[in-house]
Every structure is written in C-alpha cells, then in structure tokens.
Amino acid sequence: MYAVAVSILFQDGKLDELKEFFENTGFPALEILKGDLYSIAFFNPKDNVNLGIAFMKDKETADKFAQIRNENLMQIQDLLASFPRVYEGELLTGKTLKDSLVAEPRESLFLAFAKLDVKNADEYMNLQKEIYLPKLEKDEGIISYGSIKMDDNTLVLFEFWTSHDAKHSFDEKLNSDENVYEKFMPLMDGFTDYYGEPFAMRQFTDFKTGESIN
C-alpha cells in the first residue's frame, strides 16, 4: 500500500470553507480513482494547519492523485497561506487492528502523526518493531498504524486511535511502566508531530481486522 500525507497552512477563519470544499468538490473529484484510492481524511491538528492523509494502491495512483490534488489547490488558493508539504511512499509497516467498514464507517477517530529526523531509519524501525509495535497492537484503543521511510534519516509515522483519551492512556502506560519512549531518544535528531480528529473524510474500501496494510 502507498500513503500520501500533505500539510499546508490556511488563512485565519477559513476552516469551514475548506471543509465545504472537500465535501462538495474535493471528494467528488477523487471518484475516478475509486478502486485504487482506499481512503482519505483531513485534519486540523494545530491552528491554521490542514493535514490530509490518503491511502492508495501504488505510486501510479499517487501520481494521478497528485494531479487532482494540484487542480483542487488551484481552486482554493485564496484560502491557503503556504505551499503544501508532501510526504509519500510505500508503507514500511502497517496493520489494521479494528474493522473500518464502508457500510458502517467510524464516526470518529484520532490521528497521531509524526515526521521524524533520525540518525538511521532502519535502526529506528528495528527498535520500533522490537519494543513498541507489540505493545501497540495489544492496546484496545488502536485502530491502525503505519510508517513510511522517506530516506535513510527521515520517517513518517501515523496511528489511528478510537479517541484522544485512548492515545493518552497508552502513552501514560509506556512512560510509567518501562519508559519505552526514552529508548528511542538516542536515535532521534528531531521531530514534528500532529494530533487531531478528522473534519472531513471519505472511505472507498473496507479495512478488515488483522490485515497487514504494507
């Protein structure tokens, strides 16, 4: 599976207009990718930040998606305050832990998203697979997770949770029990993280419990 994340700044007070655009124009424009585009959601994790994340079949689909995305951005350029920052690639890790069905889509979820600058991406991911993901997959609040390796020193990680409280509870357990997060600090050079609930989303395919999505 291929993932594309896009962050962009928008003008003050324009969130409602952005939501209206995505619902009425942006999502319909993506219908031609149905079958190869699996899902897309937009978040407002910080003031004036719009973060979109989409999952699709492959790089070829991502290129078609990029063309439609650029056409959409041209239509709303008066709402935006910056050029988009795009993170994309094949999923390095990824799994669905809870069903997310088109017929009965989730009414809410919580995204934890991070771009990591690391000393060695492979070393970081090996540690994550060893000590973090086994604990993550056992937690009742996690819906799905994944990662993208941008290059040898850059990773994009994302987790979808049932709620903010579920993510917070998991973090508290890791910090109090074993200080798991501290074990990653020697491998880190910096990070940018975003958290939030979607304000617009569309799912085109079912995601089944236990399925690997990489």
Domains of the chain and any CATH numbers: 2-203 (3.30.70.100)
Q: Quick one: pLDDT at residue 194?
A: 92
Structure tokens at 33: 């990718």
Instruction: Please tell me which residue, 182 or 106, carries the higher pLDDT value.
Output: 182
Q: What's the distance, Cα to Cα, between the start and end of the chain in Å?
A: 5
Backbone φ and ψ for 87, nearest 5 degrees, come out as -125, 125
Lookup result for tokens 């060893």: 130
Q: Quick one: pLDDT at residue 105?
A: 67
Residue 22: pLDDT over 80: yes
Q: Quick one: pLDDT at residue 146?
A: 93
Reported pTM? 0.88
Q: Quick one: pLDDT at residue 98?
A: 85
